[in-house]
Structure 1
């Protein structure tokens, strides 16, 4: 049967930067879990949001993390702001972790107790 991991979260930033993130997603297409990304049909307002949600086998997590790291490392906008985001990752065995997209990298830390209800 295998071990499953729930990955849910978002990335936010300028529309040009999110268009670059979409290019990363297309280039790193995963036939199984790549469909978890949700991009808006058109830009609106000043900041855009891109969402991701999927239940995946443990073996798919490393590929998703590699993709997310490429997105985090995209060049900042003209004002020097990188894309930012937050992902909650619930592993069936290891529990929850929090992946923070900021400063051009993905910071991984133990999950916050307040979000444990998502694993119920």
Structure 2
């Protein structure tokens, strides 16, 4: 059947970046895993939180990571890039984290306090 990885996380954008975010998401459509992305239906307050949550087959994690890496490069009118965090856990109780900042999705071990979600 294959290994599944639970992915949950978010990226923070400005509302002016919404169209660019939606373009990246549409350009890399992958059924059914693209359906894990959530973008608020309408703006409220000042931050656009774009999240992903779902169980993804392990071979598709690379697809998702490349999409997150592309989103990480989007800059707003001030040149600021998004920040974000993703926690990935699999059936073997491995826990990985992607920390997004400065245009890069850094991958590493999940913080100790979050490993209990594996």
- Give your verdict on TM over 0.5: yes
SS in 1 for 2:114: helix
Task: Please tell me whether the aligned partners of residues 6 and 90 of structure 1 are also in contact (alpha carbons under 8 angstroms).
Answer: yes
Specify every segment of 5 or more residues in structure 2 that has no aligned partner in the other structure, as ranges.
Answer: none
Runs of 4+ residues over 2 Å off in structure 1: 91-94
The alignment's C-alpha RMSD in Å is 1.3
Task: Please tell me whether the aligned partners of residues 17 and 83 of structure 1 are also in contact (alpha carbons under 8 angstroms).
Answer: no
Provide the rounded CA distance (Å) in 1 between the counterparts of 2:15 and 2:93.
Answer: 35
TM-score computed with the length of structure 1 as normaliser? 0.91
Q: CA deviation at 1:40?
A: 0.3
TM-score computed with the length of structure 2 as normaliser? 0.93
Instruction: Name 2:113's counterpart in structure 1.
Output: 114
Tell me if 1:87 matches 2:94: no
Task: Please tell me whether the aligned partners of residues 18 and 50 of structure 1 are also in contact (alpha carbons under 8 angstroms).
Answer: no
**Mapping of 1:34-113 within 5 angstroms?**
34-74=34-74, 76-93=75-92, 95-113=94-112
